[in-house]
Structure 1
């Protein structure tokens, strides 16, 4: 068959179109094994040429290089390159050879020597561009996967930090509540009774008594609205009852309290009953001493 005949050109054109279809189908699949894809690409390109038995194909990427096909003296060569992922390069080089295989296999018909045709060069250019697109998509996918993994690691680390921060804040809230409770109990038990006595003293001037009253108001507002109900109940006690609570909390019995305050033990017991009622622990098995100590 003469190379320039319409039927011959049509047959060669069909081979090239079939090759492009096969390459497009090959590149549409996920890129798992680059070496296998390069080998199949080289086989498809070589088979599409007019004289595949005289053809060698070399494909080089940034990671791998593959070469195969005919050997011997190079008669014609065409090289196509395409950049991908900014700085990377893919190259496809196709050669026609004379050699042992050229002498034993089919030789070109007609009078024209072995030469790579323009349509074949176009096929190489298209294949190079398609392969570059595939490699660039692979690199982009890898960057996205790595970015996803990095974001997942950062999210896990952030969650750990948030968990630790929540624990710290929770402990801080507990410590804050304990401090407020201890402060309020201390003030209610040990400070207010003395302030009440000062306000009732006849040796103080009116201005001094007002200063004492202002001091008492300031102390009451120190932790107002932040106390457990048990501590707030202390404010319902009279100064004498509050004073007795402090003595009970410090471990004094009724007779000791009576002697300390210069009142009778019966009066102390009456105060104790009133205190239990105001604090809402009447009928409970918990003793008054234990209850008062539990508030701090």
Structure 2
């Protein structure tokens, strides 16, 4: 019997070696596929956990916004519901307890007690600490980003505390504004009462001035007018007319209506209204007739009657006749 040589053995075993090689490659591919599936599952689980935590965060912040919308400016009613919001938003709500302190008052979740596993954030109003938000785990849990807590939970509790502080600051400012508005409203009422009283006093003074002019000064001027020389009577008449101006303030009204008039022009208007001629005005003011004439031209322009067929004395008397309430004018003049 012939003994098989090495080449024959290799040729016969070649298919077997090839099959073993194929099986090994398949085993490697299966192992890679198994690891890939495990990695995909792990990544899927991580994403699901992340989405779940994000959903909790959003629910927590939206819940806080809803509370402020429901209760408006009542910060106490808002804070009573915040511990439950926080408890439901942490990774292990079944072993979580929470507390919110604000302005020396505390709001707690049922069965609250402190433990060594704590996460907290200060509540600040206008840069000053007025309270604190606290989250506790009642038993030890696996370490994550901050002890047993997630980094997202750190960001959430800080955001909740920040929003609460800002809302409290807004409410505080609004209440202070309402107090100031009430105070201002009361001051306005008091001021109106004072103004009414001042107007009453002005009216009384005006009536007293008119009575004194009518009863005391006018009779004296009437007697004086009959005693002085005819050429001087014009001056007495002018004094009488100026006294009447205290009761009927022509110059005040004219200056208010035509603010471009100078004081000298206003005085000349008063003389023209009282019937003085250009010559008489020049003598009384110690100026030339030409100067008075220029004043008259300027006055007509400022009264918007230049180049119009309007008599200046008539216009001025008509202007004054539009106001026929002497007592009101006395109050204004004073």
TM-score bracket, normalised by the shorter chain, equals 0.5 to 0.7
SS in 2 for 1:174: helix
Q: Distance in 2 between matches of 1:53 and 1:70?
A: 12
Match of 1:270 in 2: none
Match of 1:121 in 2: 154
| Partner residue of 1:223 out of 240, 252, 266 | 240
Match of 1:53 in 2: 94
Correspondence list, 1:11-90, <5 A:
11-62=52-103, 64-72=105-113, 74-87=115-128, 89-90=130-131
Q: Would the alpha carbon gap of residues 171 and 192 (structure 1) be closer, same or farther in structure 2, given more than 3 Å must change?
A: same
Correspondence list, 1:1-296, <5 A:
5-6=45-46, 7-62=48-103, 64-72=105-113, 74-87=115-128, 89-98=130-139, 115-188=148-221, 190-193=223-226, 195=227, 214=232, 218-225=235-242, 226=244
After superposition, the C-alpha distances for 1:200-226 in whole angstroms (9 at most, x for unaligned) are xxxxxxxxxx9xx75x65544333251
Which ranges in structure 2 are unaligned for 5 or more consecutive residues?
A: 1-41, 248-334
Which segment is superposed worse, 218-227 or 59-68?
Answer: 218-227
Q: Larger % of helix: which?
A: 2
SS in 1 for 2:116: strand
Q: Would the alpha carbon gap of residues 191 and 71 (structure 1) be closer, same or farther in structure 2, given more than 3 Å must change?
A: closer
Match of 2:312 in 1: none
After superposition, the C-alpha distances for 1:240-292 in whole angstroms (9 at most, x for unaligned) are xxxxxxxxxxxxxxxxxxxxxxxxxxxxxxxxxxxxxxxxxxxxxxxxxxxxx
Q: CA deviation at 1:126?
A: 0.8
Q: TM-score, normalised by structure 2?
A: 0.52
Q: Compare relative contact order (CA 8 Å, sep 6+) and give the higher one, 1 or 2.
A: 1
Q: CA deviation at 1:47?
A: 0.9
Which ranges in structure 1 are unaligned for 5 or more consecutive residues?
A: 99-106, 200-209, 229-296
Q: CA deviation at 1:62?
A: 2.7
Match of 2:295 in 1: none
Q: Distance in 2 between matches of 1:182 and 1:86?
A: 72
Match of 2:266 in 1: none
Q: TM-score, normalised by structure 1?
A: 0.58
Q: Would the alpha carbon gap of residues 72 and 169 (structure 1) be closer, same or farther in structure 2, given more than 3 Å must change?
A: closer
SS in 2 for 1:81: strand
What do you get for the CA RMSD once the two structures are aligned?
3.2
